[in-house]
Amino acid sequence: MTSVSGVCRKYDVCSSTFYRWQKHYSGFSSDQAKKLAILESENISLKRLLAEKELENAVLRDFIKKNDL
């Protein structure tokens, strides 16, 4: 059996991160963890798209305001 510190050294992760992950993902099957990772990645992409659209809307509002349209 490998120690936590050995695993952390091998993957260059601090032990506090390991324990945080363990607390977060305990009870998950590998399929559930993979699905969660996919959903988190998709969520990041959607948040980025939303931020871009909000920025575009702000620019258009400023343009309309400056040009009295």
| pLDDT of residue 64 exceeding 90 | yes
- Looking at the structure of the chain, the number of domains it has is 1
Instruction: Look at the alpha carbons of 18, 23, 29, 31 in this order and tell me if their dihedral is positive or negative.
Output: negative
| pLDDT at residue 1 in the model | 55
Per-residue pLDDT tens over the stretch 13-41? 999 999 998 898 888 898 998 999 999 99
Residue with the bigger pLDDT between 19 and 69: it is 19
| pLDDT of residue 42 exceeding 80 | yes
Domain that holds residue 10: 4-66
54-to-20, 41, 43, 58, 68 alpha-carbon distances in Å: 33, 20, 16, 6, 21
| pLDDT at residue 2 in the model | 79
When the pLDDT of each residue in the chain is averaged and rounded to a whole number, the result is 92
Nearest to 18 by CA among 38, 37, 3: 3
